[in-house]
Amino acid sequence: MSDSSSIWSALSRDIAAATGNLFTCRKHTAVGGGCINSAYVIQDHGIEYFVKLNKANRESMFAAEYAGLNEIVNSHTISAPKPVCFGITGAHSYIVMECIKRGAADKDTYVAFGRQLADMHRINHTQYGWHCDNTIGSTPQINSLTDSWIEFWGESRLGYQLQLAARNGYRRYLEASGERLLERLPVFFIHYTPPPSLLHGDLWSGNYTSDMDGNPYIFDPAVYYGDRETDIAMTELFGGFPAQFYRAYEDAYPLEQDYRVRKKLYNLYHILNHLNLFGEAYLTQAREMINSLVSEAG
């Protein structure tokens, strides 16, 4: 992706307008930003910001990320990079945020992480979903507000991913079993109606860090309000966090005894998303999870 001087000049003007302080990008350094965006740290005499760039037509993705970061920051529970501005300059869209200098995490960091995430999950809404759609990776994430968690999870999460999978060529592998699972969703919630909690939405170790003082930070959110178990389930999907994190979370906000039953149901969403993003390497896992859930539902 081009990093011509016009981009950095435009960002400097927008940062100055957003913060009320003069900023001139004197140095920009490419850093790892995942497979979706180009990422940079920009500097001006010791002041640093973190920048993501993409094509101009992806501005709505950055607008939703800006809103999601603000939702977390304004909860005053767990830290996230403070967003500064977003927009379009030339052929590129962008988001600018606080630059977190990463430090080492110790057991106290993970205890704080567990407690602060529990605090965030106690922030509730009157409905499931959010005021705008966003993305999970680069996949659209539908956040239509609804009063029913079963309806929300069935339509805006699993149902939507199954529709994408059918479009991507997996209909004959997943459609029939997926429909049976959607019909049986109420079985998993006979004695459980979760409050709509503020969620990160894409919470795995790649979207977590700690600063130089050992304070936990979460970033790259896919924010919405829903069952807090979905965040905890995803932390366990790709390796998990140290035991101190889970103990601290449970001490602050104990999970329901049947969380383990629903964990697979919630992680199926992310496996289907990986299938739709990265291809059939995830097909067998998706099929096995669906078949297992259908069997458990009876």
Q: Give 40-68 pLDDT, tens digit per residue.
A: 999 999 899 999 999 999 999 999 999 99
Closest-CA residue to 183 (of 75, 279, 269, 298): 298
Q: What is the mean pLDDT of the chain?
A: 96
Beta-sheet pairing, 139-141 with 134-136: antiparallel
CB-based contact 239:217 (threshold 8 Å): no
Residues in the chain: 298
The set of residues, in sequence order, having a beta carbon less than 8 Å from that of 51 and lying 6+ positions away, is 11, 28, 39, 40, 41, 42, 94, 95, 96, 97
Query: Would you say residue 189 has pLDDT above 70?
Result: yes
Under DSSP, the state recorded for 4 is -
Q: Specify the pLDDT at position 1.
A: 42
Grouping H, G, I as helix, E, B as strand and the rest as coil, residue 93 is strand
What's the average model confidence in pLDDT over 139-143?
A: 98
The pLDDT confidence band at residue 33, using thresholds 50, 70 and 90, is low
For the chain, residues classed under CATH 3.30.200.20 are: 5-98
Question: pTM, whole model, 2 decimals?
Answer: 0.96
For the chain, residues classed under CATH 3.90.1200.10 are: 107-297
The pLDDT confidence band at residue 9, using thresholds 50, 70 and 90, is very high
Structure tokens at 59: 């501005």
CATH architecture, domain 5-98 = 2-Layer Sandwich (3.30)
The pLDDT confidence band at residue 4, using thresholds 50, 70 and 90, is low
**How many CB atoms lie under 10 A from the CB of residue 238?**
12
The pLDDT confidence band at residue 35, using thresholds 50, 70 and 90, is confident
Query: Would you say residue 297 has pLDDT above 80?
Result: yes
Query: Would you say residue 184 has pLDDT above 60?
Result: yes
Query: Would you say residue 239 has pLDDT above 90?
Result: no
Range scoring the smallest mean pLDDT among 2-16, 70-84, 277-291? 2-16
Q: Which of 14, 202, 227, 231 is catalytic?
A: 202
What's the average model confidence in pLDDT over 156-160?
A: 98
What's the average model confidence in pLDDT over 211-230?
A: 98
Q: Is 106 considered catalytic here?
A: no
Fold assignment, 107-297: Aminoglycoside 3'-phosphotransferase; Chain: A, domain 2 (3.90.1200)
